[in-house]
Structure 1
């Protein structure tokens, strides 16, 4: 049954939800290429420095896109006042909530794949060096997976608040903060969910540990959000 709910949720998605991954991927690729060309191409890292440049923007772009997706998907139900109708359907409430988080994750993975395609194209056009597929794939894919805890938080906030101003402001602030959190040596700051996308980069030591931490935290936050959603009374 949950697969049918997920399919139905996909049919309800606004067109902008399909455009956001493409915009994210193009913006991330474009920012990386321009920044590298202007400031890093003459450096010792050469073309490989592009991955360090991508690292600078990756968490911000991923988290901002996830914030927008969560707000749009929950905001649609608030704007049309269809939460009560959805709750009255003969399906578990948890399926309705989980279908939304599943689609946000799918769209975020779409951003990662578009980024891989864009970066690979630029690489082929600019250099004859072999594409380092491991980092080319893992950098954006790990980051998209590591956004899961924040996606869960954002979806919870977006379903909780009818007015999307606060969830959006909270998500934008977190996206900006992610540019700096992973660079600190203070452990309690590093364990904040907004640090995970950057810490999951193959450029970082023990990055797979942070991917596992992020996925574990994401499952926990999703479970808590689902539990709260099933008990929430929508007006």
Structure 2
């Protein structure tokens, strides 16, 4: 049943612009850094000689949380909008398929698409560094993979929450506005010092990559994402969807 729901959803997203969005985020980040280093290559390579890869990752890391929050919001909205636009919810839920399979299918596709986006980011970072002649022998493969995937794992609560909202609300302006505010807020809340900053889920993607005990923020994000996904599923099962 779950496989049928996934197959159906993959067919629905063909030609809907979602694939373009998946590549746009990571490639946009890479393009900004390519422009930055292209304009100031001599200055940057001389000033940060010996730690070029580390500097590149530090320049990229500030944009990853923003891109993630925007990504989870837009992907969730586009997936739900396919059903809202065609008024297909009642027809879909009338089929011999459980509601929890419908919800989990949407979540699984969102997760897979954003994981692909993280893979594109990792490949793009490596390709950019090599094209800038930073050297393959000093490439920090582990750091690149952590930067690309750990913040996403820590942002799973946002994915589950925004997917839940997008599936229940026909007017996508509300979840999209919240997603944009979350993306902007992740920049300013990261400036808060102390325990409060670490307790805010908006900061978990950033702390999932930098700082001590990164695994705690990744685990917290994964656990909270599972809980919110379960809550969304239970609510979706009981609620009428127009």
Q: Smaller-chain TM-score range?
A: over 0.9
Bigger Cα Rg? 2
The residue aligned with 1:172 is 180
The residue aligned with 1:220 is 227
**How far, CA to CA, are the matches of 2:14 and 2:172 in structure 1?**
16
Matches within 5 A, 1:19-168: 19-35=20-36, 38=40, 41-44=45-48, 45-126=51-132, 127-128=134-135, 129-168=137-176
TM-score, scaled to structure 1: 0.93
**How far, CA to CA, are the matches of 1:18 and 1:12 in structure 2?**
12
The residue aligned with 1:207 is 214
Q: CA deviation at 1:193?
A: 2.3
**How far, CA to CA, are the matches of 2:162 and 2:62 in structure 1?**
22
Q: CA deviation at 1:35?
A: 4.0
**How far, CA to CA, are the matches of 2:195 and 2:11 in structure 1?**
42
**How far, CA to CA, are the matches of 1:145 and 1:131 in structure 2?**
23
The 3 A distance-change label for structure 1 pair 36 and 164 is same
**How far, CA to CA, are the matches of 1:80 and 1:107 in structure 2?**
22
The residue aligned with 1:7 is 7
Any idea what the Cα deviations from partners look like across 1:24-78, whole Å, max 9, x if unmatched? 1101112233345648544444342111111110000111011101011111111
**How far, CA to CA, are the matches of 2:46 and 2:199 in structure 1?**
35
Query: How many corresponding residue pairs?
Result: 234
Tell me, which stretches of 5 or more residues in structure 1 are unaligned? Answer: none
1:234 aligns with 2:235: no
Instruction: Give secondary structure in 2 for the equivalent of 1:184.
Output: coil
Tell me, which stretches of 5 or more residues in structure 2 are unaligned? Answer: none
Q: CA deviation at 1:156?
A: 1.1
TM-score, scaled to structure 2: 0.90
**How far, CA to CA, are the matches of 2:223 and 2:174 in structure 1?**
26
